[in-house]
Amino acid sequence: MRENPGESVPSSLSKPFQIAELEKIRQSLNAYHMRLNDVNRSLDQKNRELWKMAHHDPLTGAHNRRAFEKYWQELNDIFADSRTPICLALFDINHFKAINDSYGHQAGDQVLKVIAKTIQGVLRKNERLFRLGGDEFATFLINCTPQTALSIAERCEQATAQSNFQKFGVREPVRISIGLTHTDRLENDPLQSLQWKADVAMYSAKRPSSSSIALFTPAMEKSTQGLFSSWTRLAVYEAVTSGKDLHIYYQPIVDLESGQTHYYEALVRIQHGDELIMPSHIFPLVEARRLEPDLDRSIIEAIFRDLESNRIPPGSGVSINLSPPSVVDEGIIDWLEDFQPYVRSHKLVLEVTETALITQLHLATKNLKRLRNIGFEIALDDFGSGYSSFKYLATMPVDIVKFDISLVQLLNDKEQQRILIYLAKMIIDAGHRLVAEGIEDKLTAKRLRRIGFKYGQGYLFGKPAPELNKPAKTG
């Protein structure tokens, strides 16, 4: 039926049409709102994931450094006007780089995950664990006295020691060191100050013969004066990474029979302006940042330049100290193979410590045998200062044994000198040559020569110096 112009549609026909359209609109709006809700939920989920990624370490699940700094600001906002005791605890895995080098990064990652989970399991409710980087973790202990903090640290240490790392192939025990510091007035201790104090405590905890847990005291600050200053850190880091201001000092190692210098031990110094930074300040900073191989490589390059320039003349020689991480570093052969042309004209010695041999015996043996084949002699350094196990002399490629000053001083006691004589005879009979360290007078040199020591080193013959000095005969 054709509509006539101006004729209206009957109401009975328009109502169903309007209802159907409204229903479609309603359904469309509902569907839109449902999609919008889904999008919002997805965005909320993504935001939570992004926040977690921004504030958590993806490997261990611990909070990260960004979260650490943000949480510190929150603590300041909450406790700025109160006297709430707060402790900062730093955790560090001993010899973690050696674990990575020996067993691979996959095993190292598993160690990090277990230790993070173990420490978090010991911490009290709502206390957060932060991974600051590498194998360094931290936590803030709120409303916590120093005594309570020490108790928590001890439980963390014990729980770590009881963890099973052998299932990852790690045969050596995994241990942690813990540095603690305490404050009850946050405005007096900014974050940098607390971290510095905890670093000093950590350094104290890692010292030989020290407990693996240390609470900061003013006495520690005095004993490490200058060690953690910003300019010292910067100078050491630049010297290690670029060789800038790194200097090699040489101390003579003397034939006790003839009094003539047989070769020289290379010792590192860093010159920063008018200040000479000594090993006692260099090595703790290097070890704290796991830079031992970098330092060793810079020293090796400097010694090689001295050989090329004839600063170390033909007919003499040089002894190079290798840190434990360097002994097992996969690049150590490449670092030292350039020395091969000097094997015929110079005595070349590599000094390693018992620690290097104990932590990764198989890999250390393999690398040292290869270096021996190049023409290096191997010296076991500081014998008597650490584990002093004869099994390393039986199994390791060792040519020379250097007696630590603590053993040499046994000469001063009639009863104890029998131990020195007995040890010397055993090692000589096994085919090793002996070097005595710390000789300061002619009588000591004479007595050591009679016992069977071939070589000697100490202030009697010359202090470490930038120039090669020939000591006078000792007679």
Q: Can you list the alpha helix ranges (DSSP code H) found in 138-226?
A: 146-161, 191-206, 218-223
* From-to residues of CATH 3.30.70.270 in the chain: 65-223
Q: Among candidates 213, 212, 179, 211, which has minimal Cα distance to 198?
A: 179
Quote the DSSP letter at residue 323.
-
Strands 455-456 and 433-436: parallel
* From-to residues of CATH 3.20.20.450 in the chain: 230-456
**Cα(14)–Cα(28) distance, integer angstroms:** 21
**Cα(92)–Cα(38) distance, integer angstroms:** 44
The pLDDT, as a whole number, for residue 121 is 95
What's the pLDDT tens digit per position in 9-57?
455 555 555 676 777 777 777 776 677 666 556 555 545 544 455 678 8
**Cα(154)–Cα(178) distance, integer angstroms:** 9
Place of tokens 């040559």: 433
Class of 230-456 per CATH?
alpha beta
Q: What CATH homologous superfamily does 65-223 map to?
A: Reverse transcriptase/Diguanylate cyclase domain (3.30.70.270)
Quote the DSSP letter at residue 416.
T
Packed helices 191-206 and 279-288: angle between N→C axes, nearest 10 degrees: 110
**Cα(470)–Cα(475) distance, integer angstroms:** 15
DSSP calls for 136-155? EEEEEEET--HHHHHHHHHH
Helix (H) or strand (E) holding 17: helix 11-55
The pLDDT, as a whole number, for residue 141 is 94
The pLDDT, as a whole number, for residue 351 is 95
Q: Among candidates 92, 233, 65, which has minimal Cα distance to 156?
A: 92
Q: What is the pLDDT along the chain (475 residues), one digit of tens a residue?
A: 444 545 554 555 555 556 767 777 777 777 766 776 665 565 555 455 444 556 788 889 999 888 898 898 888 888 777 788 899 999 999 888 778 767 888 888 999 999 999 999 999 988 999 998 778 899 999 999 999 999 999 999 999 999 999 999 988 889 999 999 998 876 666 766 788 788 888 888 887 666 889 999 888 866 665 555 666 777 888 888 888 899 999 999 999 999 999 999 999 999 988 888 888 778 877 876 678 888 999 999 999 999 999 999 999 999 999 998 899 888 899 999 999 999 999 999 999 986 655 557 788 889 999 999 999 999 998 776 544 456 667 777 899 999 888 788 888 888 888 888 988 998 999 899 999 998 999 999 999 999 999 999 999 999 999 988 654 445 5
Copy the structure tokens of residue 455.
């070589």
Strands 317-321 and 275-277: unpaired
pTM score above 0.85? no
Count how many Cα atoms sit within 13 Å of the Cα of residue 242 in the half-sphere of its side chain.
Answer: 7
Cβ atoms 264, 250 nearer than 8 A: yes
The pLDDT, as a whole number, for residue 160 is 95
Ramachandran quadrant class, 141 (left: phi over 0; alpha: psi -120 to 50; beta: rest): beta
**Cα(146)–Cα(181) distance, integer angstroms:** 8
What's the pLDDT tens digit per position in 416-444?
888 889 889 989 998 999 999 989 999 99
